[in-house]
């Protein structure tokens, strides 16, 4: 089963610890610090629209892109409930092909870590470049090796609500730099006392700062800042998440 197929229906329930409003405000503050105000935005790896929808409500022209049809269906349902008409595209980020260019591309919630094969990160950066206006911004986050190795490690986690539960077994392969999540969900069936079990495997790759910097440079980006998560503090060796601020260089 593809990642997030079974999880889509309960994704927001188990991600409620993420302060999405704070993330949206952080994006706005980042733009403000750069003295820019993008009019058009692509949310790459948008999931169920937890960033896309608030930005649209704030008046930005935003488009959502994700590889999961199930996640996009949930995002569309939520957008319609808010009375919003947001274009959503089901595409792989390494092959993104939209009919226009934008002022800023966002890729949040460690979406880029899901690019585990050699060359995929480069392909994604190339696709982002092709969809940016001159001097366009590329803002993205990534889980760090420290987080995979020292925080998640070889541990097991569990969570439950009234209608769902999950068990998550984590492991990190030092040689391949791949973090594996095995997740087993139990989702209560509507109007029933039975639960459906869904199993998924998720894989994320740890990229070094040098790898990311080199890849950005190869595709014509200037790296403006690397922050410690969703703060404006400098990234550290023990950061759990890096936040990158890059801008497309002017062509000579």
CA distance 159 to 17: 12
**Interatomic CA distance for residues 163 and 161, integer angstroms:** 5
DSSP string spanning 189-228?
A: PTTSS-EEEEEEEEEEE---HHHHHHHHHHTTEEEEEEEE
Do 106 and 73 meet the contact criterion of CB atoms below 8 Å apart?
no
Strand residue runs (E) in the chain? 40-44, 61-66, 88-90, 102-107, 132-143, 156-160, 164-173, 178-188, 195-205, 221-228, 241-248
- As a whole number, the mean pLDDT across the chain is 90
Taking CB atoms within 8 Å and a gap of at least 24, the contacts of 173-179 are 174/149, 177/145, 177/205, 177/206, 177/207, 178/116, 178/203, 178/204, 178/205, 178/206, 179/113, 179/143, 179/148, 179/152, 179/203, 179/204, 179/205, 179/206
Mean local confidence (pLDDT), 73-93: 96
Which domains, from first to last, does the chain contain?
A: 7-143+207-248 (3.40.50.150), 147-205 (2.20.25.110)
Residue 18 vs residues 14, 50, 68, 177: alpha-carbon distances, Å: 9, 10, 20, 25
For 42-74, the pLDDT digits (tens) are 999 999 999 999 999 999 999 999 999 989 999
10 alpha carbon, distance to own chain's centre? 17
pLDDT confidence tier of residue 31, bands split at 50, 70 and 90: very high
Express as a percent the part of the chain with pLDDT over 70: 93
For the stretch 172-205, pLDDT in tens is: 999 999 999 888 877 777 777 777 777 888 899 9
Of 80-94, 148-162, 203-217, least confident by mean pLDDT is: 148-162
**pLDDT value of residue 9:** 54
Report the alpha-carbon distance of residue 114 to residue 22 in Å, rounded.
23
Residue 248, pLDDT > 70, answer: yes
pLDDT at 19 over 50: yes
Per-residue pLDDT tens for 102-121?
999 999 999 999 999 999 99
| Under 8 Å between Cβ of 137 and 104 | yes
What's the predicted TM-score (pTM) here? 0.90
**In degrees rounded to 5, what are phi and psi of residue 13?**
-65, -45
């Amino acid at each position: 089963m593809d990642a997030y197929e079974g999880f889509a229906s309960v994704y927001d329930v188990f991600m409620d610890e993420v302060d999405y409003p704070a993330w949206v405000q952080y994006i706005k503050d980042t733009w403000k610090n750069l003295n820019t105000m993008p009019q058009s935005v692509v949310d790459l790896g948008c999931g169920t629209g937890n960033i896309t929808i608030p930005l649209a409500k704030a008046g930005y022209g935003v488009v959502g892109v994700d590889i999961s049809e199930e996640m996009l269906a949930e995002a569309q349902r939520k957008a319609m409930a808010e009375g919003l008409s947001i274009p959503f595209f089901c595409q792989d980020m390494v092959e993104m092909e939209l009919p226009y260019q934008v002022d800023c591309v966002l890729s949040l919630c460690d979406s880029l870590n899901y690019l585990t094969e050699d060359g995929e990160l480069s392909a994604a950066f190339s696709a982002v470049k092709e969809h940016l206006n001159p001097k366009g911004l590329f803002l993205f986050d990534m889980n760090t090796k420290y987080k995979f190795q020292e925080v998640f490690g070889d541990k097991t986690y569990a969570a439950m609500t009234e209608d769902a539960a999950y068990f998550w077994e984590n492991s990190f392969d030092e040689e391949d730099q791949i973090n594996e999540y095995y997740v087993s969900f139990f989702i209560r069936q509507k109007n029933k006392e039975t639960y459906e079990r869904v199993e998924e495997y998720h894989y994320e790759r740890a990229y070094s700062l040098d790898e990311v910097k080199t890849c950005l440079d190869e595709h014509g980006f200037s790296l403006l800042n690397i922050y410690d998560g969703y703060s404006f503090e400098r990234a550290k060796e023990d950061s759990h998440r890096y936040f990158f601020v890059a801008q497309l260089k002017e062509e000579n």
